[in-house]
Amino acid sequence: MCNSRKIIWSLLFLSVLEIGLGVSSIVLGAVGIWRVKAEHKPQQGDASPVWSGACFLICGLCGMLCARKRTGLIMIAFSSCCICGLIGGILNFQFVRALLKRQDAMRSLHLTIMSLACLGISSCTLSTWVTCRLASSEQQRMFLEREHSLHHSHEMAEKEVLDNTSNGISQISINGLSASP
């Protein structure tokens, strides 16, 4: 079983990868839009790499935050970002695949964009899984802390009971006065 430190490092690695994929996808999308505008009117799907790149970038940034502050709310937000990145990557892949059918398609650029989308989809899927593992690990850690705290409070209660006895004989308290049995 992986410990929490390995999970956090895996999450950081995937987050940095998603940030890199997001920036690369945005840059390639901008290059694609620039080249399309030079040749003809832009069509639906020409800007999809920019949008999926933005999803990957936000997902990666949220993953960095999740690795730093492991609260439940941030983990839920990161999982939501990963799902949005996954959807954005799938839509990007489909739009660019449709663009490849055009006569004037920039094959190498579109294939590179599709490859980035596939890598982004994979990293979002893995990040979601790693986040679930991290949440499970944090839940187990919190349970152990609570169990230790309860165990400590029981020990303190037992100590108070023993302190209230003198030489093993319990004291009886009647109207605030203590008497031995």
Tens-digit pLDDT profile for residues 51-109 = 999 999 999 999 999 988 888 888 899 999 999 999 999 999 999 888 888 776 678 88
DSSP string, 45-113: TTTHHHHHHHHHHHHHHHHHHHHHS--HHHHHHHHHHHHHHHHHHHHHHHHHHHHTTSTT--HHHHHHH
Instruction: Provide the number of structural domains found in the chain.
Output: 1
Residue 160 has pLDDT above 80, yes or no: no
- Asked whether residue 173 is domain-assigned, the answer is no
Domain encompassing residue 122? 4-157
- Asked whether residue 97 is domain-assigned, the answer is yes
Taking residues 4-22, what's their average pLDDT?
91
- Asked whether residue 16 is domain-assigned, the answer is yes
Helix (H, G, I), strand (E, B) or coil at 43: coil
- Asked whether residue 167 is domain-assigned, the answer is no
Q: According to the model, what pLDDT value does residue 177 have?
A: 57
Cβ-proximal residues to 169 (8 Å cutoff; 6+ apart), any chain: 180, 181
Query: What's the CA gap between 75 and 65, in Å, rounded?
Result: 9
Query: What's the CA gap between 136 and 158, in Å, rounded?
Result: 33
- Asked whether residue 172 is domain-assigned, the answer is no
Query: Which comes out higher in pLDDT, residue 134 or 2?
Result: 134
- Asked whether residue 31 is domain-assigned, the answer is yes
- Asked whether residue 39 is domain-assigned, the answer is yes
- Asked whether residue 168 is domain-assigned, the answer is no
Query: What's the CA gap between 15 and 57, in Å, rounded?
Result: 9
